């Protein structure tokens, strides 16, 4: 019997960090642990401050990561009980674009007393959404100059991406911009903490920052025309050389090894953003399948053998994970967050009492209620833009809309309309892909909603008219990071040299498949037509009105 070796997968999300230990040969999860960030998402004030942050800010505290990293590594070793010498690889992923300004010691600039009260010196989370003006200015110039990088991001650079956030710092806090020795992606900084090696993930640099060294990148002339100050940041970025995904970035540094019980020099993989690596854990190796991640936000990803650019996509990357294939990413800025909003603000008190009486969660009760509503009922139609539109319009200033409300509309009908809206938004993306010549024929879904909410998954399958398989994997991103760790370890250390072999051995199993119900298709197609009409009206024809409604106008 072959000797077992393992990889640790680290996944740093919006509210917590997770770790899993995965067997290289079987893909079995040996242990898992998590670390909830004490500061969560800072949206109201900075620590120790009374001054409110502007609306749309979403910041993180760097200390949460500095504490989470050793706690997760030590915790996973203690829970698993395996010999640390058998752990031969570590992989890591984080949210993106999440950026952190660093000082000349490569530590957070916000730790310095003079910048402690400046919000621009803190970590700007992926859902920090005050950068739309910067994105608009960048896109207008790029469109005027007919820049090729726009083809790689669906025609527009997202307000969530790297340069709009950097531009905001340069404009709003020049003192932070001037003193930042570098402004790096969170994933690259976490990999630095693990190894003390300064490396930038080539995929992140090209995909999120359109790095001007890449074929479709922003050249120096464009950055200079946009803002001469940006050249300085681009030059600082070169202090962190780029390295390809699925390779070894370095070995675990001695101090962290001593604090956690792991072996110094354990192979650490080049870091990645969280969503794409779910393609690995979900076993996607052909172009007809897609991965759907259903969490607080949503991500849809699939491959194509031909290198095509799909209008409205978040981004496109050649040979990023699967050789000879182009990876396409789409996303929704809110999915589970929309459902949570309804539960927090609109779910009747009587529903909570009913759920308590039946021994259910409020979500179980709501899902049971919406499953009893026929699709051809006179339901409202909603737009899923309550946190802006990530795809296809890429406009963070848009707001949610609901039409068809009457005095007879019930709370569970509103909840169902919101769920349908997120499914219709996803269908809109699949239609854009199909029009560009890329056809998705099945979906593998992961995340808490996919695993826990069969009623919602059936609605999705019916609306998309596609089979949807769900996984039992509790941490698909972390498991994807573990696969990256196995690639960093290599076959000589019990890992893998070939990504297809690694995926075949370590992917998550599918446990259930939802088939679309043909009886419901006519009703959903009619409702989808209404969704598309609202999408055009409120997102394109009258987008200024939709944007203005959510802005404070009182004097």
Q: What is the pLDDT of residues 329-362, one digit of tens each?
A: 999 999 999 999 999 999 999 999 999 999 999 9
Q: What is the structure's pLDDT at 555? A: 40
Q: What is the structure's pLDDT at 213? A: 59
Interatomic CA distance for residues 413 and 382, integer angstroms: 11
Under DSSP, the state recorded for 347 is S
Tokens of 235: 């030059």
Q: What is the pLDDT of residues 117-151, one digit of tens each?
A: 999 999 999 999 899 999 999 999 999 999 988 98
Q: What is the pLDDT of residues 427-454, one digit of tens each?
A: 999 999 999 999 999 999 998 899 899 9
Report, as an integer, the average pLDDT of 90-107. 96
Residue 216 pLDDT class (50, 70, 90 cuts): low
Q: Judge whether residue 1 has pLDDT over 60.
A: no
Query: Which positions ≥6 away from 535 have C-beta within 8 Å?
Result: 383, 428
Instruction: Provide the 10 A C-beta neighbour count for residue 349.
Output: 7
Q: What is the structure's pLDDT at 554? A: 44
Please report, in angstroms and rounded to a whole number, the separation of the first and last CA atoms in the chain.
75
Query: Which positions ≥6 away from 178 have C-beta within 8 Å?
Result: none
Q: Do domains 6-276+476-510 and 283-472+517-555 have the same CATH topology?
A: yes
> Does the predicted model carry a pTM greater than 0.85?
yes
Name the CA radius of gyration of the chain, rounded. Answer: 23
CATH superfamily membership of 6-276+476-510: ATPase, nucleotide binding domain (3.30.420.40)
Residue 320 pLDDT class (50, 70, 90 cuts): confident
Q: What is the structure's pLDDT at 454? A: 95
Q: What is the pLDDT of residues 236-267, one digit of tens each?
A: 888 999 999 999 999 999 999 999 999 999 99
Q: State in words which class domain 283-472+517-555 has.
A: alpha beta
Interatomic CA distance for residues 419 and 429, integer angstroms: 16
Walk across the sheet containing 468-471 and list its strands. Answer: 315-318, 326-332, 298-304, 289-294, 442-446, 468-471, 510-514
Q: Judge whether residue 226 has pLDDT over 90.
A: yes
Q: What is the pLDDT of residues 378-392, one digit of tens each?
A: 999 999 999 999 999
Residue 111 pLDDT class (50, 70, 90 cuts): very high
CA dihedral 277, 280, 286, 288 (to 10 degrees): -60
Residue 34 β-bridge partners: 18
Report, as an integer, the average pLDDT of 211-231. 82
531 contacts 383 by C-beta, under 8 angstroms: yes
Tokens of 35: 């670390």
Q: What is the structure's pLDDT at 227? A: 92
Report, as an integer, the average pLDDT of 57-71. 98
Question: Backbone dihedral region of 361: left (phi > 0), alpha (psi from -120 to 50 degrees) or beta?
Answer: beta
The DSSP line for 261-308 is: TPPTT-EEEPPEETTTTHHHHTT--STTEEEEEESSSEEEEEEESS--
Interatomic CA distance for residues 469 and 515, integer angstroms: 9
Q: What is the structure's pLDDT at 218? A: 84
Residue 553 pLDDT class (50, 70, 90 cuts): low
Give the three-state DSSP class for 6.
strand
Instruction: Provide the 10 A C-beta neighbour count for residue 437.
Output: 10
Q: Judge whether residue 464 has pLDDT over 70.
A: yes
Report, as an integer, the average pLDDT of 279-303. 93
Q: What average pLDDT does the chain have?
A: 94
Give the three-state DSSP class for 515.
coil
Q: How many CA atoms, within 13 angstroms, populate the side-chain half-sphere of residue 490?
A: 9
510 contacts 469 by C-beta, under 8 angstroms: yes
Interatomic CA distance for residues 96 and 397, integer angstroms: 19
C-alpha torsion sign, points 263, 269, 275, 279:
negative
Domain boundaries, the chain: 6-276+476-510, 283-472+517-555
Report, as an integer, the average pLDDT of 74-79. 98
Q: What is the structure's pLDDT at 198? A: 96
């Amino acid at each position: 019997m072959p000797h077992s070796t393992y990889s640790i997968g680290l996944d740093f999300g919006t509210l917590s960090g997770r770790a899993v230990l995965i067997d290289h040969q079987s893909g079995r999860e040996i242990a898992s642990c998590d670390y909830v960030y004490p500061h969560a998402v800072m949206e109201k004030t900075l620590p120790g401050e009374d001054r409110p942050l502007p609306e749309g800010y979403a910041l993180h505290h760097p200390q949460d990561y500095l504490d989470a990293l050793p706690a997760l590594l030590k915790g996973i070793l203690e829970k698993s009980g395996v010999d640390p010498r058998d752990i031969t690889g570590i992989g890591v992923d984080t949210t993106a674009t999440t950026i952190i300004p660093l000082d000349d010691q490569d530590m957070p600039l916000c730790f310095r007393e003079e910048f402690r009260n400046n919000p621009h010196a803190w970590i700007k989370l992926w859902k920090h959404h005050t950068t739309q003006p910067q994105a608009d200015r960048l896109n207008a110039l790029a469109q005027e100059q007919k820049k090729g990088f726009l083809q790689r991001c669906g025609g527009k650079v997202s307000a969530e991406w790297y340069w709009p956030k950097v531009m905001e710092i340069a404009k709003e806090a020049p003192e932070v911009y001037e003193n930042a020795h570098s402004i790096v992606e969170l994933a690259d900084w976490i990999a630095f903490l693990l190894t003390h090696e300064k490396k930038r993930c080539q995929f992140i640099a090209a995909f999120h920052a359109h790095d001007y060294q890449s074929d479709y990148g922003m050249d120096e002339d464009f950055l200079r025309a946009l803002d001469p100050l940006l050249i300085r940041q681009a030059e600082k970025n070169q202090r962190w050389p780029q390295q390809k995904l699925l390779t070894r970035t370095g070995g675990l540094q001695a101090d962290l090894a001593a604090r956690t019980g792991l072996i110094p020099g354990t192979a650490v993989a080049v870091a990645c953003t969280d969503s794409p690596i779910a393609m690995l854990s979900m076993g996607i190796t052909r172009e007809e399948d897609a991965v759907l991640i259903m969490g607080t936000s949503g991500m849809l990803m699939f491959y194509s053998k031909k290198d095509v650019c799909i209008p409205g996509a978040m981004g496109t990357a050649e040979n990023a994970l699967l050789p000879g294939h182009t990876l396409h990413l789409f996303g929704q800025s809110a999915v589970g967050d929309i459902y949570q909003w309804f539960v927090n603000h609109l779910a009747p008190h009587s529903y909570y009492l009913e759920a308590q009486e039946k021994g259910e969660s409020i979500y179980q009760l709501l899902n049971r209620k919406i499953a009893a509503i026929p699709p051809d009922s006179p339901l409202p139609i909603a737009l899923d833009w309550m946190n802006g539109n990530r795809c296809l319009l890429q406009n963070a200033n848009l707001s949610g809309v609901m039409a068809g409300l009457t005095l007879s509309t019930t709370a569970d009908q509103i909840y169902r309309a919101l769920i349908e809206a997120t499914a219709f938004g996803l269908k809109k993306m699949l239609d854009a892909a199909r029009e560009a010549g890329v056809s998705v024929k099945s979906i593998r879904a992961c995340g808490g909603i996919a695993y826990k909410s069969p009623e919602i998954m059936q609605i999705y399958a019916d609306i998309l008219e596609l089979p949807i398989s769900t996984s039992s994997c509790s941490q698909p991103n972390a498991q994807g990071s573990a696969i990256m760790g196995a690639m960093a370890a290599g076959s000589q250390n019990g890992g893998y040299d070939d990504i297809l072999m690694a995926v075949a051995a370590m992917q998550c199993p599918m446990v259930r498949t939802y088939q679309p119900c043909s009886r419901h298709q006519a009703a959903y197609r009619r409702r989808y037509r209404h969704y598309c009409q609202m999408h055009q009206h409120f997102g394109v024809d009258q987008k200024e009105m939709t944007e203005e409604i959510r802005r404070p106008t009182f004097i």
